[in-house]
Every structure is written in C-alpha cells, then in structure tokens.
Amino acid sequence: MSYKEAFKVFGDFKTPAFDFNSLIEVQRRNVEAFTAANQVVTEAVQTIARRQAEVLKSNIESATAAAKELTAGGTPELSIEKQANQTKALWEKSLANVREVSEIVTKSSFEAFDVLNKRATESFEELNNSAASVAKAAKK
C-alpha cells in the first residue's frame, strides 16, 4: 500500500467530536471529591491528636496522684495492692483510649471511602453518558 493509499484510508476515517468540556468538568468534580475525602482524613487526624493530648495530660495527672498515694506510707501489702489496682485501672483506661482512637480512624476511613466511591460511580456514569452522546452525534 502506498503512502497516498494509506493517507486516503485514514483520511476517510472520521472521529466523532468529543466534548472536552464535559471531561474537564468530570475531572474537576473528581478533584473536589478527593479534596473532600482529604478533609475528612485531616479532621480525623486533628481529632486524634487532640484526644491523645488529653489522654497524655490525664495519664500524667494519674501518675502524679498514684506516686503521691504510693509514697504516703502504709504496709507493704497495702502498697502492693494499691499498685495492682492502679495498674489495672491504667490498663483499662489505656484500652478504652486505644478503642476510641481506633473507632475514630475506622469511622473517618469509611467516610473518606464513601466520598471517593460515590464520586467514582458518578464519574463512570458521566463518562458513559458523554460517550453515548458522542456516539449518538456521530450517527447523525
């Protein structure tokens, strides 16, 4: 096949007009969705940081009070019992704090995923509609 014949074959090939504005609009909404998901994650990180600061402050206060109580005197048996009770209370409090932070992380992860999943579904629908419009226009 000569160059002229090949050019003629490809020259007769018509490509439908594609609506680049709709593609740009789809991408703009995708960026908005990523921004919204990022905002959810950022807020969760801030919440976790505030909560950890509160926990740290509370733990320091508890440790200070425990140290004062343990040095207040008493029998060794009573001191050991106090230490055991304080250790148990600290352990339970720590578990509750870890559970709380885990719940915040889980909740924010699902929220961010939901934002992105919803946008992905919408994006595919928009692209399908745009392609259908182009195909319909090409048939005319």
> Is 0.85 surpassed by the pTM of this model?
no
Q: What pLDDT digit, counting tens, does each position of 23-39 carry?
A: 888 899 999 999 999 99
Residue 115 CA, chain-centre distance (Å), reads: 9
Going 86 to 88 to 91 to 92, the CA torsion angle's sign is: negative
> CA–CA distance from 80 to each of 62, 64, 76, 84, 92 (Å)?
17, 17, 6, 6, 18
Q: What pLDDT digit, counting tens, does each position of 56-89 carry?
A: 999 899 888 888 887 777 777 777 888 888 889 9
Distance CA 51, CA 56 (A): 9
